[in-house]
Structure 1
């Protein structure tokens, strides 16, 4: 039995179709991330799972129950909102226990649940405070505590960390990850932050314009994007896209790269049969910054090309250098000790083992 099953779900507002036939399912205990840019329909889909938005077409099943037309209170879900949605006139303890009181939970069980949740989230000293006396991170913990106290079939998180500063966002991300590992609950989590998606999710649904572009594990989506949108959206810094001519070389296919006023031929890894149809045409080379690095003898199966450096950005553990390949600015990840200067040529190694290729017109992956 699936924890959540969504079948051909559509949502229409007037003449505008916001969701265009969504299909996905997750196992009990899985952490599903709905990720995509603003306006892609991810929050609308979450609200439909919660029952806050009606379904124009299709079915939503939680466990063994069809909940498509049930009220939110009958769906056995708990939701954590972006705005925390705490009751300002109630203490932290009252906020956490409110749902239990509505369900007429016995007092001793209620007290035990609140104590357990408060200890789990390390908010025991805050139980008698009002929300206005709490920081953003503390309010978010209380909102999570209120959801955890319910013990539902599925937890729904709607961009819960977007109101926090960068440092606190990283800390809360780790806490949510640890909480999921400890409790083993089923979670559906909406975010536009692909770092959150990569670090938190067991499975990710990448959305664009009301459709799921790709569904799979974080690593599979990162390594094997189905199209140029997914490849560019997942990863920070994002994947480089370099238009290249494809030629038939002496030992196989090669890409023609121009850098620093000189032309170079870059061998293509064998096994991409679809590329043979593009000989004499252009393709888009998709290569991530970590595949363009300083020269290293530990990587024998690479090609070295001198590249003209335009920008140098130290980040601490790495340095990002920007070179121009075929007229396109390309970000490369090098070691901080690598010798590089703006305006000079730097030899860079191209690791083509995980490079991907896209059709320049359809932006679909070439296999």
Structure 2
């Protein structure tokens, strides 16, 4: 694990090691999408992770899918995030805000405007979503017109600018996990006959145009992009040509000199190696199902430059220190991941030092 603890660089940021905190939805924002004081405390507790990638943050009313997920498109959102970024910076860390438009993975009861979800095509994902009224089936979305697509790209641009205004070190574009950008890749979620559907190039077009707009707005060194090749999440089926879409996308994104590419790796080893070969900048690989002992394997083997960590960092605010000391990890409480119940399962996980003090 020696390479894991060596310094590295993302964009213009000098990072102390090669771990990063992966984005994780926590559903703890205020009802209007503004992050609160506990959110500032939560991220600051984990500043030793070096690079924090925030939970998915909607760029517009249409972009919200889950209850109490944060936004970054109003002045109140900016004020709330400014407190978060200040807290992280004061604690010695860096933070990228992940821009997540959920597309069809939404329900009118969960959004501020209570409108029908939007998507590349009017095809529902065949999933249920938690709402204030309990689990409800996700309805058929409204197909985005080409004019709507341009408006959505502008929403991403404005949200990126808002994130930088809020003090974020950059943004990560969420192109994974069955959300809007990923829906353009899917054969069963995109049946368009215009320039945003059909061919491999057309399926990748929206992602590339969003990236171009954000790079123009805030700079490539402040922009990362996340993908999850082969994901079945939220009803997506990318089909037999899925890997070709990703290889085309990555080649196109490489021309923008982004700060990093973040891969949620689900097992296609050949594709991961091809991505590694064509991607010139830092590559973050979050390998599904890996053990703690395998945390640095992709870095050691040259397949990745950094290892994003999700649930382990959620349950262990001092994960870096624990790993270096070989101290046992806290187990995550699955019942409080999205509960919204204040500090419980959010900011109350004990540190190694607190546990040692209790034992003494």
Give the TM-score of the pair, scaled to structure 2: 0.34
Give the TM-score of the pair, scaled to structure 1: 0.33
Higher strand fraction (1 or 2): 1
Higher helix fraction (1 or 2): 2
Tell me which structure has the larger Cα radius of gyration.
1
